[in-house]
Structure 1
Amino acid sequence: MGKLGDRARGSREKGEGWKVGPARRRGVLIGGAVGVVAIVTAGVVVLTSGNEAPASDAAPSGTAGPVAVDPTAVVTEYLQDLAEANPDAAGALTDDPAAAAVALRDARNALMPAKTTATLSRLDPTPAGAAKTGGTFAMTWTLRPGKTWTYDVPFELTKAAQGWRLHWVPALLHPKLEQGQRLVAATGPADRPAVVDRDGKPLVMAGQAGNKPAEGNPAPLLQSAFAAQATTAKADGFAVQRADASGKNLETLYGQDEGSDGKPLTASLSVATQNAAQSAVDGYQGKAIMVVLQPSTGDLLAVAQNAAAGTEPKAFSGLYAPGSIFKIVTATAALEQGLATADTALPCPGSDQIGTRTIPNENRFDKGTIPLHQAFAFSCNTTFGRLASRLPADGLVKAADQYGLNADFDIPGLQTEAGKVVSATGNDRLVEDGIGQGDVQVSPFGAALMAATAASGKAVTPKLWHGLDTTVAKPYSPPSAGVLGAVRSMMREVVTTGTGKAAAGAGQVHGKTGTAEFGADGQANGWFVGYRGDVAFAVLLEGANDSNPAVSLAAKFLNAIH
């Protein structure tokens, strides 16, 4: 009776531990009886090999391979060859010997197993005359101490002129492998998200080389904050990956989270909102900064700064003269002190001498006598300078406190300063403070906090993390509901009929524009702060000399997040 397997075995390559061994024969009979090389019990064949030297009997190049008329014999022999690290012999038992041998050898060279075990779990019955059958075997790789990888592999057998053969597909190595893909080993953990946004999108990846920004580098201003909180992957991780022809990891098949420190941290940021904010500031030619908060939660949704504005995180602690956006505070103080209501008629001349200060409107526009809400919408410096002159020395400080401009927060990973508003040292300074041109200072972060407070009607605690609390070192309390109702109405009018009309097409936007002079040459920064629904924002354009570009930039951002 003929035999299967009387052939030369290929030698193992140095580095994989293969050795040239003495030739030996295995008596696997064509009829399916299995001799000394396999144990057959209850339909299960278990074939195991460690680091012992296998027999070496590879068939001469170009031969058709062994002949077998029995499916059990051919699959048993294939599993034996897998276990004994003989890819040429195993490949010869498939219908594509060359491709199978290359793939099997590549997998062993990549994974460098200390031991392999192949177990026939199921072989379908083969009716007389059938030319196809199938089954399942279990493949076990002992990759290193404590790391044993086992999985099931479905297979198909077909009958051809030379006998039964396994149908070769990459899935015979692993059921998820497709054409053009291979198994690779990562000596460290596969890159994994170390920080994700509120929707689970990656912000920071942890890998063998440490932490790095996720693709596209979302929120570059926050990367240092992320790095301060995120843990790095452990160096002793191990993973088996499914990779494409270029080596790109498509999926981690074994070792997922091996060497990692668990679940990623979740930041309050929204990648979609962040991308919209970054796109808006990047589209501006000058220096642009934007901060976006969610009023209901205090979540920091986005912080963006373009290249022209530099890499220093000015958004969080850069203090600037607020200009007319500070009229939100001045209006609040006037309402609380009973100096006016939103409908009180007040003069808005083109220029006004208040104490020793001459206060002009922009381009000296003159509106005559108009209600306070219109003076707010048109941003009448003369009206608000006159109101400020009637306030007590600490009137603006108390109102600013209610918007969080003097509050203090300890946000893990961030250094922030909302603003600096102190009691005026004299009436002239009080007048200048009232139009945001005196000693008062606000950061873009503080301006967004002011807008978020106006929107929510409560003290907002800004957050960068879900699961890491912000410590409120100095709390604040918001204005009364009645005062905030009037302020919100005036902020809406700014957009419908006032200086913020460029944002009218972006929905129910409430806002306040501002320009603030700085330096000796008369240059000015442009501001626009406000909210729409549950999104509060602050835009600062350094040296813009006008607030209109800030309004347009905000509208671009808001339209992008509809």
Structure 2
Amino acid sequence: MASSARRALAAALSLAALAPATACFAEPSPHNAVGEFLVGWQTGDFAAAARRTDGDPAKVAKALEQAGMQLDAASIRFSLHGLRTDGDNADAALRVFVDLGDNNPLWRFDNHLPLHLVDGTWKVRWSPGVIHPQLREGQRFAVKISPESRKPIEDRTGEPLQQEQTLFVAGVHPSGVQDPEGVCERLFQLTGFAQDRLLSRIRSAPPQDFVPLVTFGAKKYAQLSDRLDEIPGLQVKKQPQPVAPAQPADIIGRVSAITPESEQQLGGPQLAGDTVGQNGLQKAYQDQLTGSTGTKVITYDLKTNEQVAELASWPGRRGVPSVRTTLDRGVQMAADLAVNGAGPAALVAVQASTGKILAVGSQQLDQETDALNGRFPPGTTFSIIAADGLLKAGLDPGQKVPCPADRTVGGARFQQTAAPAGTSPSVTTGFAYGCVTALASLARRIDTTALAEAAGRYGIGREWSLPLRSFSGQVPKVTGEAGKAKVIAGQSVRVSPLSMALVAGALASGAWRPPSLVTSPASPDLAADVKPVAQPQPMPLDPKTLPELRRLMRAGVTSGSAAAAAAPGEPVHGVVSTVRFDDGKRRRELSWFVGWQGDVAVSVLLEAADPAAAARVAGRFFRGAGQTG
């Protein structure tokens, strides 16, 4: 049922339109009779409208009121098109506008009001046809709703990424309920759904149809089932829905039954049996996954409850066949197994040649909030981006650079917990072992502009288009040697695991590419905190520096701290790092791996002080992904 404010506004607008017509004419002209009848009808003063007819006032008033209830009409308005008078008879031509409420369609139809003089007073010649030209005595309106079932979210091959889960739908057959007001009052007490909204659904529905009123999940239904059984006329039906998410569950999103709160939030004609996405893609694509309900206005025989005629129909907006993602079930399984038991961890895998997100694994971390949208310091894994600028500036990877336990650069102090033993101290060794003191010392070899440009080539700070919240990274504006050293060491930079997986993908494929997660449909209903932007174009890397960058990444696995990431098949490239991070709540030790094997690029983040911890997770992932491929 529409709100009283909405009805008052509609009535005020219609009254303003009709006032001149009723004020300019007096009896015996039929204009006043037409105006007073229509204004009384549309404002809910049915008694006033009935007095302008030749019918029984009580019966006419009841018929007008029931017509609005049977249609669940938010408002009924009129547009007068003409008035003909022929002696003691007259005919008013008008167009009727019935707002069926919420996001339902506006029903328009043409009708005529026959009038005649009764004892010198113009009266509307009453019959049900005054309400609608096809309505007859002994008939009623009904609004038949045909909701679409929720569509699936699929992986890249079309396999569903959720399983069916049983919901419990409580409803009634209107013809079998003796006390609909009592049913709605008791449901309100149990669930909080507005009584008038529930009652309007019963009153407007076809009498023999099952009218869903409230949907429960299994847990809630178990709590209330005994009390629901006590409500006369209420029936509960099981309804399977594809709502239980497979991994990555935070990305796919969870689905729940409509609640009083979600019904108000959605603001549409949601019905019991409908479902609402709570998070992830289920929430982002809520409208596309559910489509909209089809609507029909029908007349029924009051004695037989059989349909007489279909007066109008709207098919509703169809939802999409499915939401097709870039996710790969086999790669996802490898990601899930790799992080299992690792402690708080996030793993993002992308296809290097396309930027498509293949898998998002996590344990004790949220896949959207942390893996896609997290803001973490990357430690010395970020130095591979700085190396791009350093190589352009002429840095020799074989140059000797010591890796002391302690070094101060421009007043900023850096400490290396475990210097590589038995190795020749060089730029390459510093990268391979993630030696923060060696890498920070290179700050004097690059200016701030070149450092910022290098970050931009790898998409750090770029805006891209994803249906979920995500973070491309941020490099602070710095001056001086200390500021540059902190950027190279990845201490003042903030990135997400997704943004670093794309960095690895750029090195593997030769071009940075923006991420993608959904291939169809193209446009979701973005959350309020997700800004729609045009997808950036791929950015090729410099073919002169790329081979040397790849050699540095390969050294991290063959002779450095990322050796645990080695796996059968194509060579694994990667670097690792540890970094301390104060998130405002506690101090955390983060272990990173950033690298690739073949066309699969990955970043791993977990809470650990061991620089090889993330590499071990990456190794398990590459071995698992190789088996699924």
Alpha-carbon spacing, 1:309–1:423, altered in 2? closer, same or farther (3 Å): same
1:304 aligned residue (337, 361, 364): 361
Alpha-carbon spacing, 1:427–1:301, altered in 2? closer, same or farther (3 Å): same
Kept in 2, the 8 Å contact 1:448–1:536? The answer is yes
2:606 aligned residue (535, 541, 546): 541
Kept in 2, the 8 Å contact 1:506–1:555? The answer is no
Q: Tell me how far 1:557 sits from its aligned partner.
A: 1.3
Kept in 1, the 8 Å contact 2:406–2:415? The answer is yes
Could you say which residue in structure 2 is the equivalent of 1:389? 444
Q: Tell me how far 1:561 sits from its aligned partner.
A: 1.3
Deviations 1:342-376 (A, max 9, x none): 23333333333322233232224567853422221
Q: Tell me how far 1:455 sits from its aligned partner.
A: 0.8
For structure 1, the 5+ residue unaligned runs are 1-186, 238-257
Deviations 1:20-75 (A, max 9, x none): xxxxxxxxxxxxxxxxxxxxxxxxxxxxxxxxxxxxxxxxxxxxxxxxxxxxxxxx
2:152 aligned residue (194, 204, 208): 194
Q: Normalized per residue, which structure has more helix?
A: 2
The SS at the match of 1:420 is coil
Kept in 1, the 8 Å contact 2:513–2:537? The answer is no
Between the aligned partners of 2:162 and 2:567, the Cα distance in structure 1 is: 35
Between the aligned partners of 2:521 and 2:293, the Cα distance in structure 1 is: 26
Q: Tell me how far 1:279 sits from its aligned partner.
A: 2.4
Could you say which residue in structure 1 is the equivalent of 2:594? 529
Could you say which residue in structure 1 is the equivalent of 2:614? 550
Residue 491 (structure 1) aligned with residue 553 (structure 2): yes
Alpha-carbon spacing, 1:455–1:232, altered in 2? closer, same or farther (3 Å): same
Alignment of 1:22-421 (within 5 A): 194-204=152-162, 212-214=242-244, 216=246, 218-223=248-253, 224-227=279-282, 228-229=284-285, 230-232=288-290, 261=319, 263-284=321-342, 286-306=343-363, 308-310=364-366, 313-338=369-394, 340-365=395-420, 370-411=425-466, 413-421=467-475
Kept in 2, the 8 Å contact 1:211–1:232? The answer is no
Deviations 1:456-502 (A, max 9, x none): 11131211122345954555734301211111111111111110111
Q: Which amino acid aligns with 2:345?
A: A
Deviations 1:106-146 (A, max 9, x none): xxxxxxxxxxxxxxxxxxxxxxxxxxxxxxxxxxxxxxxxx
Q: Tell me how far 1:213 sits from its aligned partner.
A: 3.6
Q: Tell me how far 1:231 sits from its aligned partner.
A: 1.5
Between the aligned partners of 1:538 and 1:234, the Cα distance in structure 2 is: 40
Between the aligned partners of 2:326 and 2:415, the Cα distance in structure 1 is: 42
Deviations 1:412-431 (A, max 9, x none): x2121110013313321211
TM-score by length of 1: 0.57
Between the aligned partners of 1:425 and 1:468, the Cα distance in structure 2 is: 45
Between the aligned partners of 1:454 and 1:210, the Cα distance in structure 2 is: 46
Kept in 2, the 8 Å contact 1:354–1:386? The answer is yes
1:517 aligned residue (580, 585, 606): 580
Between the aligned partners of 2:604 and 2:377, the Cα distance in structure 1 is: 13
Between the aligned partners of 1:486 and 1:309, the Cα distance in structure 2 is: 35
Between the aligned partners of 2:457 and 2:401, the Cα distance in structure 1 is: 25
Alpha-carbon spacing, 1:236–1:511, altered in 2? closer, same or farther (3 Å): same
Between the aligned partners of 2:445 and 2:606, the Cα distance in structure 1 is: 31
The SS at the match of 1:346 is coil
Kept in 2, the 8 Å contact 1:235–1:259? The answer is yes
TM-score by length of 2: 0.51
The SS at the match of 2:289 is coil
Q: Tell me how far 1:276 sits from its aligned partner.
A: 1.8
Between the aligned partners of 1:190 and 1:409, the Cα distance in structure 2 is: 32
Q: Tell me how far 1:278 sits from its aligned partner.
A: 1.9
Higher-Rg structure is 1
Between the aligned partners of 1:461 and 1:473, the Cα distance in structure 2 is: 7
Between the aligned partners of 1:418 and 1:215, the Cα distance in structure 2 is: 26
Report the number of matched residues: 350
Between the aligned partners of 1:506 and 1:191, the Cα distance in structure 2 is: 45
Alignment of 1:445-464 (within 5 A): 445-464=498-517
- The RMSD of aligned alpha carbons is 3.1
2:480 aligned residue (403, 426, 444): 426
Between the aligned partners of 2:576 and 2:417, the Cα distance in structure 1 is: 12
Between the aligned partners of 2:443 and 2:241, the Cα distance in structure 1 is: 51
Q: Tell me how far 1:389 sits from its aligned partner.
A: 2.9
Between the aligned partners of 1:483 and 1:376, the Cα distance in structure 2 is: 15
Alignment of 1:3-18 (within 5 A): none
Alpha-carbon spacing, 1:398–1:210, altered in 2? closer, same or farther (3 Å): farther
Deviations 1:205-251 (A, max 9, x none): 689869644564543333234222242276679xxxxxxxxxxxxxx
Could you say which residue in structure 2 is the equivalent of 1:467? 520
The SS at the match of 2:589 is strand
Q: Which amino acid aligns with 2:557?
A: V
Alpha-carbon spacing, 1:271–1:385, altered in 2? closer, same or farther (3 Å): same
Between the aligned partners of 2:163 and 2:580, the Cα distance in structure 1 is: 42
For structure 2, the 5+ residue unaligned runs are 1-144, 168-238, 254-278, 296-315, 524-532
Q: Which amino acid aligns with 2:251?
A: L
Between the aligned partners of 1:214 and 1:406, the Cα distance in structure 2 is: 35
2:493 aligned residue (434, 440, 445): 440
Q: Which amino acid aligns with 1:483?
A: T
Alpha-carbon spacing, 1:262–1:314, altered in 2? closer, same or farther (3 Å): closer
The SS at the match of 2:592 is strand
Kept in 1, the 8 Å contact 2:335–2:361? The answer is yes
Q: Tell me how far 1:312 sits from its aligned partner.
A: 6.0
Between the aligned partners of 2:537 and 2:320, the Cα distance in structure 1 is: 34
Q: Which amino acid aligns with 1:301?
A: L
Between the aligned partners of 1:540 and 1:383, the Cα distance in structure 2 is: 23
